[in-house]
Amino acid sequence: MRTDRTPPPFERVLVANRGEIAIRVIRACRELLISPIAVHSDADAGALHVRLADASQRIGPPPATESYLSIDAIIQAALRSGAQAIHPGYGFLSENADFARAVESAGLVFIGPPAETLESLGNKLAARRAAKEAGVPIVPGTTVALGGDWNDLGALGFPLMLKAAAGGGGRGMRRVDTPDEVGVALDAARREALSAFGDGTIYVERLLAPARHVEVQLLGDRHGGLAVLGERDCSVQRRHQKLVEESPSPGVETATRDALFASARRVAGTVDFHNAATVEFLVDADQRHYFLEMNTRLQVEHGVTEMVTGLDLVAWQIRVAAGEPLSRSVLDATGRGHAIEVRLYAEDPYDDFRPTAGRVTAWQMPAGPGIRVDAGIEANTELRPEYDPLLAKLLVHAEDRAGAIDRLRRALDETLIGGLQTDAGFLRWLVDDEAFISGRYDTRLIADRWSGDHDLADGDAALAATAALAARHARTSNPGGPADLGDDGSAWGRLGRREALRG
Amino acid sequence: MTDYQVRVAGARVAASDGWRLEIVDARLGIGRLVNGLASLPVLVEGDGSEWVVTLRGRRIPVTVRSWRERILADAESTAGAQVGPIAVKATLPGLIVAVAVSAGEEVTEGAPLLTIEAMKMQNEVLSPRAGRVIDVTVEAGQVVATGAPLLRLE
């Protein structure tokens, strides 16, 4: 073991999350010689993240509101386990100011920004005003809550986007193309925002299209140090949620990149934070950029930046939370090569990306040079409808973008997931799509190019027929042999029946 | 050898010339399709006449029926032409967050019946046809499994 290293920032850290991100944080803890403590709901008692930690605390029944979102249960778990700090991951309580405050008042360290920062950035409308005051361009629209009188919206020009002030993850968002649609869409957005965030405040932005969604990764310490760690392009989206992220962005010019970094620094200057953070922008066809929002937490897609910079963002989150200043090598970090992340979701891309569910059977992930898989599940995992449908993130890194795409194609060809439909078929299509390969794509890529028509190619139908026919023959002609797939509970037997029932 | 008929998406399909299946892991259904020097990883799950083949990430349902199974299936589909009441079932597991209709109500085809929240997303269950709601067997707040009866339509 190294003797020249600084002592671990904490002895024990509670990881207040589940799935792949809990595992990601647990791994960072291990490398920092910190003892990681997991938490679990009753549904996750035997989950992978629980087994990878040193110990795990039960925090409640399966519904997230009674477990992973229960501030009290998590604080109690941290105190019981003797942890000095809590890492919230992303989602759940990661941007909850009340939680950050409760952690601090329990005498523990919140691995994240101060509660006041979460409060001011959590309100997207307030963040919009702050960015504007800091001289950063914002998407044209309102800077006050939309009231009952929305007749003058026409001046902004349609189409418009209605957005929830407390929003995130694409919820509470509605596109409006004509004035007549405003009423119905506003009601729907309000209802969704109220149920998801407990706040129905809505504001309006003009819909910018074509546009790319580009975000800048920041890392700040408690001593005023701020590192700008490049950008990520997140333009491949469905339902305003990201599916693919890459760095550097193939769609921003050098001058635009510099302007994005400068704007990101300016937005970061409006709040006090010591953590990983992301400032999100839209970049239009004329390379003009507009501030969307700032998140002071770890992003799902942080790994893309880790691959191009070689830094461990999660380890740095923990280190700066303990008071360590960012090192020179972090402050001066630059990118090398190109990284792409694709998200493997339990969703059916042939049915409008509707969530699927069930038990994952076969689970074969790619490996080899330049490949990273952050997975929260393993073979035989039963997916729970209560939680996020993200199965794994597949990341590739190569010398340049073309090399990264070739590597991603190879990686997807090595990937086999059984038991349920995932978006892997869409991702495999994407790596051969002309627009994606050229790098000249925008947020409309899925809507425009992944059409609603998903007729099976004749060749693929024939190949599927070949495989199924051969499998049936193998079973019939070789009873008792290795290819006897019998009715004794083997994966083939069980799945066939389930799938048939589902019809 | 049994003479099987293979259907993909309802249409009869002949097997691909020159391709054969090599089984890698029979328990998990992992295999590869091989044709000369070309090969393609594939996942084959199922048994009897119902199979699902995963090819380049896409799950493709395939029916492989013997002569006897074809006769039985034809008889069933003739008898099963939907005339009487039908049960609307959950196509995904989740939490019932809203029920938009009640017993006795007339609905049109495609009308929203109820909303199921799964994986943090709200999914509307639409009426498969026009008719009168006989009864609703679930209520808001209830968690349902895939295939659970939700309501009956006359």
- From chain B, pick out residues whose CB is under 8 angstroms from the CB of A495: 29, 45-46, 52
Could you tell me if A365 and A48 are in contact, meaning their C-beta atoms sit under 8 angstroms apart?
no
- The CA distance from B95 to B150, in Å, is 12
Residues of chain A with CATH 3.30.470.20: 211-449
E strand residue ranges, A106-209: 109-110, 160-164, 174-176, 202-206
Q: Tell if the CB–CB gap between A461 and B9 is shorter than 8 Å.
A: yes
B60 and A364 within 8 Å at the Cβ level: the answer is no
Q: Residue A79 carries which side chain, given as an amino acid letter?
A: L
Pick B123 or A435 by higher pLDDT: A435
Query: B137 — phi, psi (to 5°)?
Result: -100, 0
- Residue whose C-alpha is closest to residue B40's, from B56, B26, B52, B24: B56
Question: Is residue A496 within 8 Å of B50, Cβ to Cβ?
Answer: yes
Residues of chain A with CATH 3.30.1490.20: 140-206
What per-residue confidence (pLDDT) applies to A501? 43
Q: Hey, is the C-beta of A432 within 8 angstroms of any chain B C-beta?
A: no
CA A63 to chain centre: 21
Q: What is the DSSP string of A192-222?
A: HHHHHHS---EEEEEPP-SEEEEEEEEEE-T
pLDDT of residue A145: 87
Q: From residue A384, give the alpha-carbon distance in Å to each of A47, A155, B145.
A: 12, 46, 11
Q: What Å distances lie between residue A243 and A49, A246, A340, A423, B85, CA to CA?
A: 23, 10, 11, 9, 41
> Quick one: pLDDT at residue A487?
42
Contact B6, B14 (CB under 8 A): yes
Per-residue confidence (pLDDT) for residue B80, from 0 to 100:
53
Please give the residue of chain B at the shortest CA–CA distance from A347: B119
A428/A203 Cα distance (integer angstroms): 37
Distance to chain B for A149, nearest Cα, Å: 28
A14-42 per-position pLDDT tens digit? 999 999 999 999 999 999 999 999 999 99
- pLDDT tens, residue order, chain A (503 aa): 556 677 899 999 999 999 999 999 999 999 999 999 999 999 999 999 999 999 999 999 999 999 999 999 999 999 999 999 999 999 999 999 999 999 999 999 999 999 999 999 988 999 999 999 999 999 999 888 887 667 778 788 899 999 999 887 778 888 999 988 888 888 888 988 888 788 889 999 999 989 999 999 999 999 999 999 999 999 999 988 999 999 999 999 999 999 999 999 999 999 988 999 999 999 999 999 999 999 999 999 999 999 999 999 999 999 999 999 999 999 999 999 999 999 999 999 999 998 888 899 999 999 999 999 999 999 999 998 888 899 999 999 999 999 999 999 999 999 999 999 999 999 999 999 999 999 999 999 999 999 767 889 889 999 999 999 999 999 887 654 444 444 444 444 444 444 444 43
Q: Do A492 and B52 touch (CB under 8 A)?
A: no
Q: Which residues of B touch A500 (CB under 8 A)?
A: 46, 50
State the Cα–Cα distance between residues A459 and A393, nearest whole angstrom.
30
C-alpha–C-alpha distance, residues A48 and A482, integer Å = 30
Distance CA A219, CA A373 (A): 23
Tell which A residues from 169 to 208 touch B, by Cβ distance under 8 Å: 169, 192, 195
* Tokens representing residue A249 in the block: 């962005």
Tokens in use for A53?
């930690």
Partner B, chain A 124-163, Cβ-Cβ below 8 Å: none
User: Which residues in chain B are closer than 8 Å to A464, comparing Cβ atoms?
Assistant: 8, 13, 53, 55, 60, 62
Outline where B1-151 has alpha helix (H).
Answer: 67-79
Of the CA atoms within 13 Å of residue A374, those in its CB half-sphere come to 25
- Per-residue confidence band for B1, with pLDDT thresholds at 50, 70 and 90: low
Provide the greatest CA pair distance for chain B.
63
> What are the boundaries of each domain within chain B?
5-79, 86-153
A357·B93 Cβ contact <8 A:
yes
Provide mean pLDDT across the span B29-53.
95
List, for residues A155-173, the tens digit of each pLDDT value.
888 999 999 998 877 788 8
- Number of CB atoms found within 10 A of residue A116's CB: 14
Q: Which residues of B touch A192 (CB under 8 A)?
A: 122
| pLDDT for residue A478 | 62
Query: In chain A, where does the domain assigned CATH 3.40.50.20 lie?
Result: 12-111
**Mean predicted lDDT score pLDDT of chain B:** 87
H helix or E strand, kind and range, residue A392: strand A390-398
CATH class of A211-449: alpha beta
B84 or B135: which carries more pLDDT confidence?
B135
> In the CATH scheme, what architecture does the domain B86-153 have?
Beta Barrel (2.40)
B contacts of A459 (beta carbons < 8 Å): 16
Q: Which helix (H) or strand (E) holds A424?
A: helix A424-430
Q: Is the preceding omega at residue B128 within 30 degrees of 0, hence cis?
A: no
Q: Which residues of B touch A485 (CB under 8 A)?
A: 26, 29, 47
Q: Tokens 């523990």, residue?
A: A108
A279: number of Cβ within 10 Å: 28
**Residue in chain A lying closest to B64 (CA):** A469
Residue A193 is predicted with a pLDDT of 86
Q: Do B44 and A385 touch (CB under 8 A)?
A: no
Which A residues in the span 387-406 are in contact with B, Cβ-Cβ below 8 Å? 387-389
Q: Kindly determine whether residue B56 and residue A358, on different chains, have CB atoms separated by under 8 Å.
A: no
Read out DSSP for B103-137? TT-EE-TT-EEEEEEETTEEEEEEPSSSEEEEEE-
| Domain A140-206 listed as CATH 3.40.30.10 | no
Contacts of B51 in chain A (CB under 8 A): 467-468, 471-472, 496
| Residue located via tokens 């989740």 | B94
Alpha-carbon distance of A290 to A136, in angstroms, equals: 8
Beta bridge pairs of residue A213: A282
- For chains A and B, CB pairs below 8 A equal 212
Going by pLDDT thresholds of 50, 70 and 90, the confidence category of residue B120 is: low
A234 shares contact with chain B (CB less than 8 Å): no
Which phi and psi (to 5°) does residue B42 adopt?
Answer: -150, 150
User: Comparing B125 with A246, which gets the higher pLDDT?
Assistant: A246
Three-state secondary-structure class, residue B84: coil
Give CA torsion, residues A459, A453, B50, B143, to 10 deg. 150
CATH architecture of the domain covering A12-111: 3-Layer(aba) Sandwich (3.40)
